Amino acid sequence: MTSKDVEQRHEDQLKGSSDGGGIKGYLLHRAKPYLPPWLGVGAVGTTSTIGHLVWAEDVGMGIGLTLGSVTLTVATWWAAKTTGRERRIHSAITVAAASAWTTHAVAFGPTPVPFVVGGVVIALSWNIRQTMRRDPDGARSAASDGGLMEKIGLAKAKMGQAKVEANRVTVPIALEPGKQTNDDMAKALGNVASALDVPATAIRYLPDPDSARRGELIIVPMDMLADTVRWEEVGPSLPGGSITDPLVLGVYDDGQPLMLWLPGDPEQQRNATHLLIAGMTGAGKGDGALNLMTEILSRRDVIFWLSDPKGFQDFRPLLPAMDWAVDGNGTETMVEAVVPAIQARTAWLGGHNYRQWCAEAAETQTDPAHSCRKDRTPCGCPGLPFHVTWFEEAGVSLGLLGDDAFNSIANLARSAGMAIVISLQRASHDQISTTTRDALGGRLCFGVPNATAAGFMLPDAVIDAGAAPERWSNRRPGYCYLVAPGIDDARSSSPGRTRWFTPSAISLMETVADWNARHGAKVDFITAGAAAMAVGKAYTERARHQEENPEPNEDDEETAVSRLDDEDLDIDPREELPQPGPGEENVVFGQPDGADLSREEARTVLQEIVAEFEANGTMVIGVKEVMEHGDRLGRKRGWVSGELQQLLDGGRLAITSKPGRYRIVPAMADA
């Protein structure tokens, strides 16, 4: 019978007849649960009286009853070992008292007063126990079992009053002083899950930072992540909101929203953060990235740069919302553009009296407190939107750039109102440097193959509290742990799940991108100027991913505008070229042979090659790229390396974070 049925039955009883029969029936019904102890007392009294009449003079029966009493009491104690300690003691005392009374009454006759007093006490004690067993709020859980700590090997630990929420129970734990520590409790979490018959990920332990033996045991009995939620069913959480509002990526296992903040908030004492995303193939990292990316692109005050060696396979519907997107070949150039952008943005924020980026910094500066003028009159400067730079499949990029390529930008970007997002499959030291990993701060960890991989992503305290993404591996796509500023420690060890993107989500993704292109923030002149100064045409002539042109009409061939000069309009492309005239036989088209070039001519050709790289948007080069044009130079690698150093000294090239790589200084940078 469900609780709803019980409530309905109780309601029917209250509305029933109020005559003598109705009242009698109601009272009898309410008394039924409390009758068994009284019936037991009556049965003991009746049995002992009959036994006295039959066996009063039988010494052997007296001895048998005595042995039977002891045996029955021991059997009761043994049978109750799986119950709680209080129930076991209560049952043994009751059986011992009843059997002892029966033995005495058979041998010497029943004594009314002790029988009545003792029987009433025994029966009432069980009635009281029955009353206290009721839990009208439905808050009783297995965690309230006093024998739980004994089952897991921490018998003398004490459990406090449980706090019961929707699908979440929090129990204060006080371990035995001098003999047990929080580490002992953390090691016993698997045993707790076994005792309560719940998944291992449903149990967490949050140590008290001010005590070595106190903490909170958190139990989530029902996994609310089992039902997959499609992203298109809910869409972005706050379209048109600010990037300072929480980014909702999914839900926790108790049904609460899985939220992340990228900018800091001094009032909330929350630091700004970067984010490292990792997870093995099939663990749902791609859908998790889409959840975060659509949340960011649906906000009004943020601009977005993306590097994706996969050629935007997952993110193509969102490209119109991005200020700059490059494939793997452009990653090195983007990194070189981020460095001066950080410096320029930091200078702007400092000049406008912002200690860190906040939502007001993205608006036109009309507040005298944030004026860049010396007299502190409103300056009216355009705002500075928040900036997210995302490196997808960063393991590929780091393999080319070196594992410390992001060190400088990761350490400096937070103060410039920028967030760096690095996504890869495994955050091991051979993929990304420990310095960069520690500087990122935020972690979004999906399923990993083993505990070692989990240790690369999650802090030790989170793992000790019960987080174990290796238990899912890639069998539960989307399951994850999120560790970032602004998230409670208890939440960091709580699993969540991001939403699922299906082909039917593409239309809504395109709507998000279209909204951003129309109403989202435009790149500020501070960031754009710094990027253009650093990488020139690679940024100023970056691809703008607009809507595809419609399919051409059948009449396009007739209406197309000719690209020929007027003097060439009469040329028939189907005619053979005319034979060369006298003196024209030796005309050669193409590059000259570098073997015949003088030193100065070779330098001129090298400068032309560098200019060609700049014109094509390739702004980071090395000896390898130049040697691809070695036939034009007629020189070896040693000569090219020395000449690149000369161009570096002359200001045409600039050093990068990786030795042997040079950034081309745009020809018009000084202007």
User: Does 624 map to a domain?
Assistant: yes
Residue 491 has pLDDT above 50, yes or no: yes
Higher-confidence residue of 472 and 34: namely 472
Please state the rounded mean pLDDT for residues 83-93: 79
User: Does 100 map to a domain?
Assistant: yes
Which of 95-109, 309-323, 501-515 is predicted with the least confidence, judged by mean pLDDT? Answer: 95-109
Average pLDDT across the chain, whole number: 82
Phi-psi region of 533 (alpha: psi -120 to 50; beta: other; left: phi over 0): alpha
Check if the beta carbon of residue 485 is closer than 8 Å to that of residue 442.
yes
| The pLDDT value given to residue 141 | 41
Token pair 């076991």: residue = 88
Residue 15 has pLDDT above 70, yes or no: no
User: Does 659 map to a domain?
Assistant: yes
Shared domain for 406 and 445, answered yes or no, is: yes
Q: What is the pLDDT of residues 283-332, one digit of tens each?
A: 999 999 999 999 999 999 999 999 998 889 899 999 999 999 998 788 88
| Per-residue confidence band for 392, with pLDDT thresholds at 50, 70 and 90 | very high
Pick from 5-19, 28-42, 211-225 the range whose average pLDDT is largest.
Answer: 211-225
Shared domain for 48 and 116, answered yes or no, is: yes
Higher-confidence residue of 553 and 244: namely 244
Check if the beta carbon of residue 195 is closer than 8 Å to that of residue 152.
yes
Shared domain for 162 and 308, answered yes or no, is: no
Q: What is the pLDDT of residues 544-575, one digit of tens each?
A: 543 344 344 444 444 334 444 555 555 555 45
Please state the rounded mean pLDDT for residues 620-645: 87
Q: 465 Cβ partners below 8 Å, 6+ apart? A: 186, 204, 205, 206, 207, 489, 492, 493
| The pLDDT value given to residue 224 | 78
Looking at the 3D structure of the chain, how many domains does it have? 4
Last residue of a domain, one of 109, 133, 157: 133
The amino acid present at 164, given as its one-letter code, is V
Which of 103-107, 457-461, 561-565 is predicted with the least confidence, judged by mean pLDDT? Answer: 561-565
User: Does 379 map to a domain?
Assistant: no
Strands (E), 124-273: 158-159, 163-165, 168-174, 203-207, 214-219, 247-252, 257-260
Shared domain for 259 and 314, answered yes or no, is: yes
Please state the rounded mean pLDDT for residues 110-139: 70
Q: Which domain holds residue 187?
A: 142-219
Residue 123 has pLDDT above 60, yes or no: yes
Which of 37-46, 107-116, 298-307 is predicted with the least confidence, judged by mean pLDDT? Answer: 107-116
Please state the rounded mean pLDDT for residues 429-442: 84
User: Does 35 map to a domain?
Assistant: yes
- Predicted TM-score (pTM) above 0.95: no
Which of 212-216, 320-324, 541-545 is predicted with the least confidence, judged by mean pLDDT? Answer: 541-545
Please state the rounded mean pLDDT for residues 397-421: 79
| The pLDDT value given to residue 602 | 87
Shared domain for 511 and 416, answered yes or no, is: yes
User: Does 378 map to a domain?
Assistant: no
Residue 199 has pLDDT above 70, yes or no: yes
Q: What is the pLDDT of residues 145-193, one digit of tens each?
A: 457 887 888 878 888 888 888 778 888 999 988 889 999 998 888 888 8
- The CATH code of the domain that includes 604 is 1.10.10.10
Residue 19 has pLDDT above 90, yes or no: no
| The pLDDT value given to residue 360 | 94
Shared domain for 31 and 165, answered yes or no, is: no
3-class DSSP assignment, residue 287? helix
Shared domain for 410 and 512, answered yes or no, is: yes
Phi-psi region of 532 (alpha: psi -120 to 50; beta: other; left: phi over 0): alpha
| The pLDDT value given to residue 576 | 55
Phi-psi region of 575 (alpha: psi -120 to 50; beta: other; left: phi over 0): beta
Shared domain for 204 and 268, answered yes or no, is: no
User: Does 577 map to a domain?
Assistant: no
Residue 133 has pLDDT above 90, yes or no: no
User: Does 5 map to a domain?
Assistant: no
Which of 20-29, 112-121, 180-189, 202-211 is predicted with the least confidence, judged by mean pLDDT? Answer: 20-29
